[in-house]
Amino acid sequence: MSQATWNSVDDYFNGLFSLDDSVMQQVQENCRVAGLPAISVSPCQGMFLQILAQSCRAGRILEIGTLGGYSGIWLARALADNGKLVTIEYEAKHAEVARRNFDLAGVGSGVTIINADAKPALTSLIEKSVDPFDLVFIDADKPGYVDYLALSLRLSHQGTVIVADNVVRKGEVANLETDEERVVGVRNFLKALAAEKSLRTTALQTVGVKGYDGFSISVVL
């Protein structure tokens, strides 16, 4: 199997399920013009996140790693009226582009972007005793994932779904010889998930326009 095959299957699914609407195309174009890296989730993956959020009837969603708001829009579209997406991004330029994109997509009123480093931002949410989140999407720097998990658990309740992207890294996650910091970060995160008695966890390998990678999916027991 090749990248070309994965691309053509993703294209087929995008067309079949109408996943790449004009707003989402404009959002990606805005990210491209602003010079943001092309590292968002794909349309199929965005809809996967949206369906997860709808399945757990998420009214409050936490995202760590906003970029230009692409995955956040998919998630925000799952929210009922008065639902809330809180999304954390430390690059000011990314946060600015995301704000414009959330407004363009018509979900801006339900979205709070915290333009800060994720660890202090999460700690601050804990200190403020905000209501717990129903779904958490972790998609920022990989060495931070272990801390993001520990902090997210303090912002969760029984039934909260915690999803993390990029946990396979072209299969490198199973290469015990590597000392690449992102792979090590992901492996430490997966070990923490496995050791966490309050979680039920699986991980799924994915292929598509984003290459070969995968998600972990956990639920708080």
Ligand X SMILES: C[S@@+](CC[C@H](N)C(=O)[O-])C[C@H]1O[C@@H](n2cnc3c(N)ncnc32)[C@H](O)[C@@H]1O
Which one of 7, 56, 91, 123 is in contact with ligand X (CB under 6 A)? 91
- Smallest distance, Å, CB 84 to ligand X? 17
Number of residues that bind ligand X (CB under 6 A): 19
Q: Per-residue contact track with ligand X, 15 to 34, x per CB under 6 A?
A: --------------------
- Sign of the Cα torsion 55, 206, 141, 19 reads negative
Asked if 40 is part of the footprint of ligand X (rule: CB under 6 A), the reply reads: yes
* Cα–Cα distance measured from residue 215 to residue 217, given in angstroms and rounded to the nearest whole number: 6
For ligand X, which is the closer residue by CB, 141 or 177?
Answer: 141
Window of 77-85, 139-147, 154-162, 187-195 that interacts with ligand X by CB under 6 A: 139-147
Window of 54-62, 125-133, 134-142, 206-214 that interacts with ligand X by CB under 6 A: 134-142
Asked if 118 is part of the footprint of ligand X (rule: CB under 6 A), the reply reads: yes
- Smallest distance, Å, CB 20 to ligand X? 14
Asked if 67 is part of the footprint of ligand X (rule: CB under 6 A), the reply reads: yes
